[in-house]
Amino acid sequence: MNAGDQHYMQMALELAARAMGRTTPNPMVGAVVVKDGHVVGRGYHARAGTPHAEVHALREAGDLAGGAVLYVTLEPCCHHGRTGPCTDAIIKAQIGRVVLAMTDPNPLVAGKGIQKLTEAGVHVDCGVLEEDARRLNEVFIKYITTRLPYVVMKTAMSLDGKIATAKGESQWITGNAAREFVHRLRDRYDAILVGVGTVLADDPSLTTRLPEGGGKDPVRIILDSKARTPETARVITQSSEAPTIIVTTPGAPPERVRLLREAGARVLEVTGGEGGIDLGVLLHELGRREITGVLVEGGARVNGSFITCNLVDKVNWFIAPKLIGGESAPGPVGDPGITALQDALPIKDIKLHRYGEDICVEGYAVKRSD
């Protein structure tokens, strides 16, 4: 690996990121073709079912691809899916060298693409900016290897750890800049999840609203074991291309379920776990529906349930520089909690971001192995 390889791979990663939140269930991939020190082709995968990054880059390069170097953020596919194998296009274009950021965790590829290129006489180098590539596609990596969605927990609290006043007022703890970034998170992930308590208290829209427009609404998932969501709630009645899924249990009143369906909501019945909905079963069902990433924006009870069930992959924890106080004012994590500090959920690879006067702690949950 040399400085040139890193430079062009960084360019490919930036291309890949242009499709953030748009490629589900596929990964984000960028590609750059370099000939004699000049970029002659660029491309990225825009959405599932459309040509892959390599194909776009090779088309732009044309005859200049012969003997050139192809930089790709992910191992090229070698199987027939919604599109043809990229390895065939690379070999046909007579690319001389392929530089990869990482191998493809998809079992259908997983080294087979590299093998096919090598057997055709193409020199392959792998591992350039690999960690950056893995972070970019962290959602895809979990989904393709487990068939479970990646779970990101977002919450906002005051400096003294309160998410609302003692009387329940919570809008708004953070400022405009932080709330704008939350909408960018919604634009990035396939689904947003809250509990019915949030719907009853705030009647939120749970849509994506970006200053420049063009945001993608996430699928709205409401945990509602007794089907208490009003048919007039904005999550159901508003105009949005994304559906609303009300997750209930067998104990939900059939009449309430019928009314929700008639109002336009999709109702998903999940076997009740201890104290409500079995979140593990729910995530398996969402994965089956090709929902690869879920942004949890729940209150204390929902947050506590996800943490207790060991289901959180990443956190975006906003802290506003204000003090609320009150012994009865809720904190961000409910449920019984832990009794010993050694059982606390560690967060690693911490990054701090500032949005206006607010701080966001971004990090990754260290999963329990038991």
Domain-wise residue ranges, the chain: 3-140, 148-365
Q: Which fold has domain 3-140?
A: Cytidine Deaminase; domain 2 (3.40.140)
Higher pLDDT, 230 or 78: 230
User: Across the chain, what does the average pLDDT equal?
Assistant: 93
Asked whether 318 and 359 are in contact (CB, 8 A), the reply is: yes
Supply the residues annotated as catalytic.
Answer: 54
Question: Among residues 146, 141, 154, which one has the least CA distance to residue 181?
Answer: 154
Residue 172, pLDDT score: 86
Residue 1, pLDDT score: 61
Please indicate if the annotation marks 176 as binding a ligand: no
Q: How confident is the model at residue 296 (pLDDT cuts 50, 70, 90)?
A: very high
Please indicate if the annotation marks 113 as binding a ligand: no
* pLDDT higher than 80, residue 90: yes
Q: How confident is the model at residue 272 (pLDDT cuts 50, 70, 90)?
A: confident
Rounded to whole angstroms, the Cα distance separating 278 from 216 reads 28
Residues 6 or more apart whose CB falls under 8 angstroms from that of 245 comprise 219, 220, 221, 222, 265, 266, 267, 268
Long-range contacts, 128-133 (Cβ 8 Å, 24+): 128/1, 128/5, 128/6, 128/9, 128/71, 128/99, 128/100, 128/101, 129/6, 129/9, 129/10, 129/13, 129/101, 130/101, 130/102, 132/10, 132/13, 132/101, 133/13, 133/73, 133/74, 133/101, 133/102
Please indicate if the annotation marks 52 as binding a ligand: yes
Over residues 11-32, the mean pLDDT reads 96
Residue 275, pLDDT score: 60
Q: Would you give the DSSP letter of residue 128?
A: T
Q: For the whole model, what pTM was predicted?
A: 0.92
Residue 223 φ/ψ, nearest 5 degrees:
-80, 115
CATH code of domain 148-365: 3.40.430.10
SS3 352: strand
Strand partners, 314: 152, 364
Please indicate if the annotation marks 303 as binding a ligand: yes
Please indicate if the annotation marks 283 as binding a ligand: no
Torsion angle of C-alpha atoms 141, 142, 144, 147, degrees rounded to 10: -170
Asked whether 134 and 102 are in contact (CB, 8 A), the reply is: yes
Q: Are strands 358-365 and 219-223 parallel, antiparallel or unpaired?
A: unpaired
Residue 110: CA count within 13 A, CB half-sphere: 7
Over residues 75-79, the mean pLDDT reads 86
Q: How confident is the model at residue 262 (pLDDT cuts 50, 70, 90)?
A: very high
Over residues 188-213, the mean pLDDT reads 93
Please indicate if the annotation marks 198 as binding a ligand: yes
Please indicate if the annotation marks 274 as binding a ligand: no
Rounded to whole angstroms, the Cα distance separating 168 from 166 reads 6
Q: How confident is the model at residue 167 (pLDDT cuts 50, 70, 90)?
A: confident
Number of neighbouring beta carbons within 10 Å of residue 111: 12
Residue 3, pLDDT score: 77
Rounded to whole angstroms, the Cα distance separating 218 from 104 reads 26
Residue 145, pLDDT score: 95
